[in-house]
Structure 1
C-alpha cells in the first residue's frame, strides 16, 4: 500500500498494484490508481482522476475535474460549487450530486442518467439510454439508435445519427432528431421539434409547439401538434400534418425557397398558412376561416369556404374565388384582401361558381357591362353589372339579378370580398377562368 502526495505544482501520481492513496494538493494533477480499491483526491486545480480497475473513491476537490469510471463500485465525491466536472464512463452510470457532465465511452451499449442539476449527457456510437431527470439538461445520443428522456426542466435533446427516440417532459424543450428515422415527443411545455434527415414522427403534445420535419425534399415526416397553438414548418409537400378540431389556432410556415411553382392546401382543423422565402408558391385554405400570407414571389391564394384573410405581400398575386358549386356566401365566404394592388394583382373569378358571368375567359370583362365601380352599397344592389365594387364599404359584390333590389335569390348579402384600403378597382384587375 502506497501513499503518494503531490505539491502545489502540476503532478502526475501513479499507484501500485496495492491499495493506494493519492493526493494531488494544488495544481492541475493527473492521478492514476491501479488494480485495488484506491483513494484519489485531486485537491485544488483542474484534475484528472482514474482509479483503475478496482472499486475506487475519487474526489476531485475544487476546480473543473475529469473522472474515469470503469467499475460499478467506483464512488465519486464532489461538493457544491467546486467547478464543472466530467465523468467519462465505460459502464452504465448515474451522475452523483454536484457533477455536471457524463460522457459514455467505449463501444458498448451502456446507459447514462443525470441528477437534479443542469447536466450534459453524451452517448457513444452504440445504442444508449440517456435520462436527464431534473434540471435543464443537454442530451446527445451520438451514433446508434438512442433513447433520450429529458425529464423535468427545459431540456435540449440531440439524437445524432441513428433512428432515435427522444421525449421531453414538463418544460420547454428543444428536440433535434438528427439523421435517421426518429420519433420525437415534446409532451408538456412549449417545445421545438426538428426531425432532421430521415422520415420522422414528431408529436408536440400539450402547449404551443413548433414542429419542423427537416429540410430534405425526399423525406416524408408525420407531424402532430396536439393541443395548443402549434406551428408547423413544412419543407416538403410529402410531409403529413395531423390536427384535430378545437386543439388551438395552428399555423403552417411553408419554406418555399427549396422548390418553385408547387402548392399547399391546409388540411382540416389548420387555420393559418404563411409562405416564406422568395419563390412563387400557391396556398389554399379549407372550410374554416383561414389566414393566408404570400411571400415576395407571385402567389396564388384561395381561401375556399370560410371568411378568410388573404395577404399577397410583394409580387404579382392572384386571389381566387371559386367553389365546387354555384355561388353562395357560405360556399365561397367573404374574404378580406389586405394588400390588393390595382394594376399588379388579380382577382380571379370562376364561371363555374359565378354562373351569371358571360365574359370570355381571360383578363378583364369581355362584356364590359358586367363590371361596375360605384359609390355605395345601395347603388351596388341596383346596378346592372354582375360584379360590383362599392367604394364606400370597400366590398366586392356578386349581383346576378341586375337592377332588381338585392343581390338575387342565390344569397342575401352578395358579398364576395373586402378590399382593405382600396377606393377603386378597374376591369383589368380581374381574371375570368372556367
Structure 2
C-alpha cells in the first residue's frame, strides 16, 4: 500500500469495500473521516465475513420456581428453558435439596440427568409431592442444575424453588377437593368457600362471603385491619371444634358467639353472621382491646395483646388474657383462667369459684416453680396465703395470694427482698378463699 496522504496515528474500526471503486478499500477511523488506500499488486484483500451461524452461539439454561398445592398436585413440574435452542443434544444434571420441607416426607428426593432434544426450547423435571394430610405452614425445597453439556447455565437462574402449600387459592366460589386442607378466596367479588371433611383453614376475600367449614375442626381466618365485607359462617352442631382467628387484626375485635344476628366485629372493616347458634367454640384475637363472648359450648377465648374483656358464658371455658390488663369472666361451668404469656399484665377475674374453677400456670413462664405438672402444688411450700399485700415479698412461697385484696403474685425470688422478676398477675374481684388445689400447672 502507498502511504496515506496525511501522516497521523489513526485507530481504524471497520474495514469495508468501496463498491464504487473496486480496486480500493475504505478505512473508517474514529472521527468519521474516510481515508482511501489504492490496492497495489501483488497484495490481496481477504474478506472475513461475520459468522452468523447459530451453531456457534452458546445455549444457556434456566429453571423456574413453582408453587404446588399438597393433595391437589401429585408432582412439582419445573421447566428448564433453553434461551437459544441448539442443533445438538443438551444434557444437564439436577438434584433436590431441602429448605424446610422434609425429603421423602413432603417430597421424593431426586438426583438425575435431564436430556433436551436438539432444536428444543424447553424440557421439564418432575418431582413427586407426598401428601401427609397435616395442616401445616408452607414448606420449600430446591432443584439445582449442574454440569451442562453443549450449554451453559444462567448463574442467576440455576436453582428452582418449589413451595409446597396446603392452601388452594380461588377467585370464584370453590369447594375444597379431598386431601387439600386450606382455602383462600382472593379478589373482591362476593363469592363463597366450602371446606371438606378434613380440618380446614378458610379465609375469605374483601367481598361478602359465605364460608362453610363442613366437618372437621375448622379455622376461619380474618385479618380485619383492612375492609373484609360482611360474611356469613355456616356451621353445624356436629361440625367439629371450630375457631375464629383474627391474627393480624391490629384494632379492636368484638364478637359474640352466642347470637345469630349480624354483628359488627371490627368497625368499618368486618361484619359477621352465624347461620346457627352454638356452633363456634373458640376465638383468637390479636393486639387490639378486644371484647370476646362465648356461648353454651366449651369455649377457649384468647385475648392476645391489648386490654381485653373475655366472657365465657355457659360451658367449661378456658380464658387466656395474654398481654395487657384483662377482665375475665368465666360464667357458668368449671372454667380455666390460663396464664401462659411472657408479658403478663394484671388480669381481673370477676367470678372465680374455688373448687370448680382453676388458675392455670405455665411453668415455662413461672420458671421458679419446681412442682410437677398437674393439679395443685406437689411441693406445698410453693404456694402460700398472706393477710396483706405488704407481706407478699417476704413470703418464701413462689405463688402468694393476698386474702385482703384478692391479688395473686409471682414471688420469683422467694423470701429474698422484693419479688425478683415476678409481679402481681391476677386479682380475684370476689376475694374468695383460695387453696393450692385451685391451681393447675402446665408446661
Indicate the TM-score class for this superposition, using the shorter chain for normalisation: 0.3 to 0.5
Normalised to the residue count of structure 2, the TM-score between the two structures is 0.44
Query: Normalising by the residue count of structure 1, what TM-score does the alignment of the two structures yield?
Result: 0.45
Larger Rg: 2
Q: Which has the higher strand share?
A: 2
